[in-house]
Structure 1
Amino acid sequence: MKFQLFLASLFSHIKGRHWWLGIVIWIALVAPAQASVILRVAIERDVKQVKVGSSTTAVVKDSSGRTLGQLPGMSAYYAQAVPGGVALDKWQSNLFWVEPTGKGFVYIGDRWYRGRTLVVPSEKGLSVVNWVDLEEYLYSVIGGEMDSGWPLEALKAQAIAARTYALYEREKQRNNPIYDLGDTPDRWQIYQGVNSESRTTLAAVDATAGKVLTYRNRIILSVFHACSGGHTENSEDVWGSREPYLRAVPDFDQNISECNWIRTFSPTEISAQIPEIGNVKQMIPESTSPFGSVTSLKIVGDKGQKVLRGEDVRTALKLKSTRFNVSNGNGSFTLRGLGYGHALGMSQWGAYNLAKRGYNHLQILNYYYKGVALAPIQVKK
């Protein structure tokens, strides 16, 4: 296969910090000015290859903005990391844009997305980033984060919370030359492309278009979770830092089956997660929040002990929540808990139940985020 080499000599001289500067320059060269709010969502990061394509004929551009040719619609091609850049079909360049014609969707990995695709080299291979309008991004996120059959007022509350969170992350990542956020719930929001869109998610986003939550004129960290198990938490009891708008409130998500859980661990299973303490002998909740969540958990083994604090209590053992009690019997440890998630901000099941009771989306948001205001952003539809 013959490859066209564009800016190869420039790429070879850009190392370390300057390499990232080069990427910024290339993106700036080929990214036209946008009046709408565009999000850069990393769909794949640091992989060797990934399939890309388009539902309609797609224009392929290189790092200088030059049109290399077209990819036929409804066909997928492997983008691959190669020495000196990225290869796509018969081309090689420092980066590629894949831009569908008409109202086409782009294909990345195994899903369809709105917007366009940037394929760019990364330190460990390549990354594929979906450049998508904020409101169109939310069409998918709402369906990923909530059941699209839930009451519209709950979906509208989720739309505003998700929009606010996305812009908060976008600002937080302003020095990242490649992406603003990813597509997974471990750190960001669930983004599954057009597959999770529906009539109701579009309606919820359109009805709240451009609206965000602010506290003292600054966009808030509008985190949310599936359910708290009866009471949300104060941010300092989970993350150690106090946010005035993330205050604990009684919740409306009791008696939800997924929010009542039991996990049984053998000592070997716990030791596999925390090997430095040896064989586990005890699990002792040392402190709890005012609302019953474990804020400090001591795990004692025959080689030492480890104290987990805050959110580490949940993540280290892959628990649904930190609201649990511990019992020890037959050589194993049984944890019985309530809630699903970090219990900060809006409870999604709580929003569902409040909407069922007739509360609107603004009332729901004002209940879970204290002292906030609803503010507009300028978004071109």
Structure 2
Amino acid sequence: MILKFKNNYSKCCLISILFICVFHSESVFASKEPIIRVLISKNNNLRIRSDRSIPLTINGKFFSSKKIKGLTLKNEKNRKILYFDKNKQKKYDLKNNQQFKISSSDRRGIWVGQKRFSGKLNIFVLDSKILVVNVLGIEKYLNSVVGSEMPTKWPIEALKAQAIASRTYALNQKGNNLFDIDSTQKNQVYNGLESRTYKTIRAVKSTRSLVLTYKNKLINALFHSSSGGMTENSQDVWKNKYPYLSSVKDFDKNNPKFRWHKTISSNQLINLFPEIGGLNNIEILDITATGRVKNVNLIGAYGSYQMSGVALRKKLGLNSNFVRFRFFEEELNNNTPQKRGLIAFGQGSGHGVGMSQWGAKYLASRGQKAERILKHFYRGVQIKPFRKEYL
């Protein structure tokens, strides 16, 4: 269709209307971007400061839009205190359940300890600790998550797959009254602005709002470093069975730490299992279909008890529970009774459920797109723009 204009005034009016419509639609979309609250610190001794000359703004019980360069939170003689950079002599006592907010107009972010974060900060004073929660749009959050979870030099399609998986995982976290998600491996790693690069921004922007769904609900988009050759069924690691978290072939042998071993001395075993006098033997009672340790019987000098493979992995600090054990006689002095240490031989890293990051890297390096990678590791899923109905 060709539009004919009677005069320049009509043309200008139409252009103005089109501009307003486009601008309005973009503004509406931006305003609907989900906000995420990320727990970034539980440290009772912490410094928060601006990046350079632009001040921070603090609001709370004692402060109303006060401009500051920085502040220190500190545990001092059983008191939780706060003081500002300009006047360190004036100390404010922080009471239980007190909270305040810190914001900045500086695009370079806010320093919290040794890391920089965009968005705002909510500070909560609790009985035993001070919580710092970063509040920001989920897309800005993901710019840093992707670079925190995956090396940014990896292929862009692997980074895109990570962005979609991380977006889905984050939106599916119910959280609590104070925050939605943790910034550590407890949930997914978020190291702030220093982990954001051109490639992570590109990966997030090109997948904006895309999430993984199963029967029109967000999936539990679990991921891990390396499965050791086969990913695991969710019900073999935890109680919940998710059809889309089924065991599939992994392509992670390019991981330089695909195979590993760990040596644990007899003294360490005594400290780890004092109730049974150390560890003399490990009986593997059950293994999963892929070969991971499911349940064990731990035998020590004073008794024995059973433990899950997941719990044993955590107890011994192992990379995964795709592992086998061998005891060995320690070399000791002639006058010392013989003691036995333990060597754990394993493969893979992480719980083994969902997307393998090293597997994603391999598939991307062979030309696979993010959608194909995700649908390999998450069976029967769909990739769609996020809607609230998916929660």
| Cα deviation 1:178-213 (Å, max 9, x = unaligned) | 11111111x111111011111101100111111111
- TM-score normalised by length of structure 2: 0.81
Q: Is the 8 A contact 1:43 1:128 kept in 2?
A: yes
Distance in 2, Cα, partners of 1:256 & 1:48: 38
Q: Which amino acid aligns with 1:61?
A: N
Q: Is the 8 A contact 2:273 2:279 kept in 1?
A: no
Question: Cα–Cα, structure 1 residues 86 and 279, in superposed 2: closer, same or farther, change >3 Å?
Answer: closer
Deviation for aligned residue 1:305: 1.2
Aligned to 2:344: 335
SS in 1 for 2:353: coil
| Aligned 1:90-129 pairs, distance under 5 A | 92=92, 94-129=98-133
Matched, 1:67 2:75: no
How large is the Cα RMSD of the aligned pairs?
2.1
Count of residues in Structure 1 that have an aligned counterpart in Structure 2: 336
| Cα deviation 1:310-342 (Å, max 9, x = unaligned) | 421311111001112222222222221110000
Distance in 2, Cα, partners of 1:68 & 1:149: 42
Alignment gaps of 5+ in structure 1:
1-33
Deviation for aligned residue 1:158: 0.3
Q: Which amino acid aligns with 2:56?
A: A
| Aligned 1:1-381 pairs, distance under 5 A | 35-45=32-42, 47-55=43-51, 56-63=54-61, 67-72=64-69, 76-80=70-74, 87-89=82-84, 92=92, 94-169=98-173, 171=174, 173=175, 176-185=176-185, 187-330=186-329, 331-377=340-386
SS in 2 for 1:280: coil
Deviation for aligned residue 1:103: 2.4
SS in 1 for 2:141: helix
Q: Which amino acid aligns with 2:358?
A: W
Q: Which amino acid aligns with 2:177?
A: P
Deviation for aligned residue 1:347: 0.3
Deviation for aligned residue 1:119: 1.5
Aligned to 2:8: none
Question: Cα–Cα, structure 1 residues 240 and 270, in superposed 2: closer, same or farther, change >3 Å?
Answer: farther
SS in 2 for 1:311: helix
Distance in 2, Cα, partners of 1:118 & 1:190: 19
Aligned to 2:11: none
| Cα deviation 1:95-149 (Å, max 9, x = unaligned) | 2211112424011121101101112211213211111211111111111110000
Aligned to 1:6: none
Question: Cα–Cα, structure 1 residues 282 and 85, in superposed 2: closer, same or farther, change >3 Å?
Answer: closer
- TM-score normalised by length of structure 1: 0.83
Instruction: Please identify the structure whose Cα radius of gyration is greater.
Output: 2
Distance in 2, Cα, partners of 1:229 & 1:48: 39
Alignment gaps of 5+ in structure 2:
1-30, 85-89, 330-339
SS in 1 for 2:257: helix
Q: Which amino acid aligns with 1:182?
A: D
